[in-house]
């Protein structure tokens, strides 16, 4: 088989598993989001700040992916909600099979919200559906405003861009208006929320987005 044929077979198999996961999430009314960014944009920090803002009895769980280490799971567990690390051992993205395996002993009927932090990478994760209701791309102001143009696939497929680390804007030559324009060139109408995980700016808007998007998903099935 050629390399392309093998890749297509892997992606088709992933699509089948992701469709099963999506059906299970819908059946149990679990709103699942898949956070994607370069390493270091602040996915884990955003999830830490999100969990801190949720009520103690929120029915939320987190799966966090990295090539090695349990560091992110250890950070996220401090909030007291169920968290599992998926270490891929070299693979540059999460796939649907990894999610299915990680969920094997988590009853979906006990969850309303499943937050997935993908492996830090703007390329490969965009090709692997995890059964999520929404992909969210995180871009931080230290990465350059041209990234939506350089890595269009993930910006095209994400419903929302979280523009993080806005507290650093006084110190970096990052043009917010240009970054927003570039994101919308690739994905017209894309939602954008500016956040800082250190000052807390934009975090209420982000948590509000999660809440209202979840309600819409549950109502519309």
Ligand X SMILES: Nc1nc2c(ncn2[C@@H]2O[C@H](COP(=O)(O)OP(=O)(O)O)[C@@H](O)[C@H]2O)c(=O)[nH]1
Q: Which residues bind Mg ion (CB under 5 A)?
A: 43-44, 72
Q: Please state the closest distance from residue 82 (CB atom) to ligand X, in A.
A: 19
Q: Which option in Mg ion, ligand X, none does residue 85 bind, with CB closer than 5 to 8 A by kind?
A: none
Q: Which option in ligand X, Mg ion, none does residue 168 bind, with CB closer than 5 to 8 A by kind?
A: ligand X
- Which residue of this chain has its Cβ atom nearest to ligand X in the complex? 42
**SS3 of residue 83 by DSSP:** strand
* CB-nearer residue toward ligand X: 117 or 132: 117
Q: Please state the closest distance from residue 45 (CB atom) to Mg ion, in A.
A: 8
Nearest CA among 116, 34, 31, 105 for reference residue 72: 116
C-alpha dihedral (57, 59, 60, 61), degrees to nearest 10: 110
User: What tokens appear for 195 in the block?
Assistant: 């956040």
* CB-nearer residue toward ligand X: 102 or 217: 102
* CB-nearer residue toward Mg ion: 72 or 145: 72
Task: Give the integer Cα–Cα distance in Å for 89 and 78.
Answer: 24
Binding site for ligand X (CB under 6 A): 37, 39-45, 120, 164-165, 167-168, 196-198
Quickly count: other Cβ atoms within 10 Å of residue 134's Cβ: 19
Beta strand 191-194 pairing with 160-164: parallel
* CB-nearer residue toward ligand X: 165 or 213: 165
Q: Please state the closest distance from residue 207 (CB atom) to ligand X, in A.
A: 15
**SS3 of residue 60 by DSSP:** strand
Q: Please state the closest distance from residue 72 (CB atom) to Mg ion, in A.
A: 4
* CB-nearer residue toward ligand X: 45 or 190: 45
Q: Which option in ligand X, Mg ion, none does residue 194 bind, with CB closer than 5 to 8 A by kind?
A: none
Q: Which option in Mg ion, ligand X, none does residue 127 bind, with CB closer than 5 to 8 A by kind?
A: none
* CB-nearer residue toward ligand X: 34 or 41: 41
Nearest CA among 37, 28, 21, 38 for reference residue 102: 21
Instruction: Render 133-178 in DSSP notation, one character per residue.
Output: SEEEEEEETTS-TTHHHHSHHHHHH-SEEEEE-GGGTTTS---HHH
Q: Which option in ligand X, Mg ion, none does residue 167 bind, with CB closer than 5 to 8 A by kind?
A: ligand X
Nearest CA among 96, 187, 77, 84 for reference residue 137: 187
Q: Please state the closest distance from residue 3 (CB atom) to Mg ion, in A.
A: 30
């Amino acid at each position: 088989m050629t390399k392309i044929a093998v890749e297509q077979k892997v992606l088709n198999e992933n699509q089948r598993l992701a469709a099963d996961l999506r059906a299970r999430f819908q059946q149990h009314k679990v709103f699942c989001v898949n956070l994607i960014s370069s390493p270091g944009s602040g996915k884990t920090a955003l999830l830490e700040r999100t969990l801190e803002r949720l009520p103690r009895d929120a029915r939320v769980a987190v799966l966090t992916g990295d090539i090695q280490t349990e560091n992110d799971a250890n950070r996220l567990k401090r909030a007291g909600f169920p968290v599992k690390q998926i270490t891929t051992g070299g693979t540059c993205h999460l796939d649907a099979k990894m999610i299915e395996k990680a969920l094997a002993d988590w009853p979906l009927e006990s969850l309303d919200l499943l937050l997935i932090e993908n492996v830090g990478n703007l390329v490969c994760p965009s090709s692997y559906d995890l059964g999520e209701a929404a992909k969210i791309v995180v871009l931080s102001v230290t990465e350059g405003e041209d990234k939506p143009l350089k890595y269009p696939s993930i910006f095209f497929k994400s419903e929302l861009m979280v523009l993080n680390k806005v507290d650093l804007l006084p110190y970096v030559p990052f043009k917010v208006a240009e970054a927003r324009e570039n994101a919308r060139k690739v994905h017209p109408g894309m939602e954008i929320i500016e956040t800082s995980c250190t000052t807390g700016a934009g975090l209420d808007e982000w948590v509000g987005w999660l809440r209202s998007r979840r309600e819409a998903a549950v109502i519309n099935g």
